[in-house]
Amino acid sequence: MSSSLTKPIALPHLSRRWTTADTAAAQGDRNDGLRAAREGSDGARVIDQFWRKLASECASDLLRFYGDCMRLRQDQDARLERLRHEHDQEMVGQAAANQRQHDDRLGTLKRELGPDSAPFKQAVARAEDAHKTLRGVRGEVNSRPLRTHFGPFYLVVMLILALAEVPVNRAAFELTFREEPLFSLGLALAVGLVLIFFSHVIGLILRQWPRRNSFGQVAPRLGAMAVILAVVGSGVYFMARMRQAFLRLTAAENDGFAQRLQDALRGGARETVSVITDLPLTLNDWTFIAINVLLFVFGISASFLRHDPHPDYEKAVKEGRRADRALGRLEKRYGDAVAEETSRYEDRKRSLDTQMSELRATIAAVADQSSGILRHCESGRQMAAQTIRTRCGSFQEGFNAAGAPKLLTTMPTNATILAELPTPDIRREP
């Protein structure tokens, strides 16, 4: 395949005798004119014979010169035809094949990864359904923004509240597990988690209280809250009693109490509970209860602030975002594949365009060379006519130097000489 500009061609040359009037030829022409004058020849006739003789001799050389140029022109025309065929058929065909390959590959990607693939269609349908649901919910709340706080830090906040319950409640279980402190610690942590979970539930119930206070909607919520508050209240009260018993036992301030407690422990659970509940609550016990209640209220407040009043709003927003992210991942994968294929296509196209541009430049150069051959032939013909006229001048000088009457108007013009010389007969460009 041609991909670079063609090199200059070596053009045929006309014989130097017709392109340059050398000194020897000029002297010979003057001698011929001198001799003709001494023989008494008619000036106009002999100079006419002289230049016509030169034209006849030049014609045979010109025809050979034209023949060489014609063969070179034919070679150039044949090469030009091959280059045009290469450009119009092969290169154009490769460009069309590259475009077809690109279109086929894009169609394949569209079917395998793009909008026509099953996963892509499912993701689009899921996103449409999610946004349809979200639009419905936003219509119910008059398009207000989502009212939530803490976001991903909510679990951290609730965990901190649960951990804060551990040192407060641990002493309540030391009475039973004095020799196993890990059990006491585990129970305190479990109680903290349960209390914070209950606060989460109550906060959620209060935040998403029904707009219409119908019995069917309000009664279950009130019942659930009553049960939870009863469990939490009794649990906190019992833990306060257990903590008080443990502290009094460890302080050994009342030996009689220690003996009663040991007798009760040997007697069974009922006796143990009776001994513990007989103790009056002190300020420290009420402080213990207040701390538990305060942490419980903090949990309710955090849960209340965390959730939106509409039960489905946050879920609809999350589902819409998840659907958008899933669709976005598929779109990115499809877009990356299309971009990669397009990049390869553009690289091939640029390479073909470069080759075609170079080939067109080569075609233009060869066509110019082919046309230059015709100009070269005409230039040789012009130089031959000028050389003949110059030699006629030398002949005239010799004729006038013989002392005969001056030969004034017998010089042929270039046009007259050119009319006698053969014209180039090589094929011109169509």
Cβ of 55: how many Cβ atoms within 10 Å?
Answer: 21
List, for residues 191-225, the tens digit of each pLDDT value.
889 999 999 999 999 998 887 777 777 888 889 99
Segments making up each domain of the chain, as ranges: 19-112+373-420, 149-307
- The CA distance from 365 to 73, in Å, is 13
Q: Is 279 exposed, middle or buried (0-12, 13-18, 19+ CB in 10 A)?
A: middle
CA 94 to chain centre: 25
| Residue 157: DSSP 8-state | H
Cβ of 109: how many Cβ atoms within 10 Å?
Answer: 19
| Angle of the 181-207 helix axis to the 215-251 helix axis, nearest 10 | 160
List, for residues 143-197, the tens digit of each pLDDT value.
889 888 888 888 999 999 888 888 877 766 665 555 467 777 888 888 889 999 9
Q: What is the mean pLDDT of the chain?
A: 83
Reading the block at residue 298, the tokens are 């903090």
Give which of 333, 110, 135, 303 is closest to 203, Cα–Cα.
303
For residue 132, pLDDT over 50 is answered with: yes
pLDDT band, residue 126 (cuts 50/70/90): very high
Which DSSP string corresponds to 56-99?
Answer: HHHHHHHHHHHHHHHHHHHHHHHHHHHHHHIIIIIIHHHHHHHH
List, for residues 82-111, the tens digit of each pLDDT value.
999 999 999 999 999 999 999 999 999 999
In degrees, to the nearest 5, what angle opens at C-alpha 429 toward C-alphas 16 and 2? 90
List, for residues 393-415, the tens digit of each pLDDT value.
888 888 888 765 554 456 788 89
- The CA distance from 97 to 90, in Å, is 10
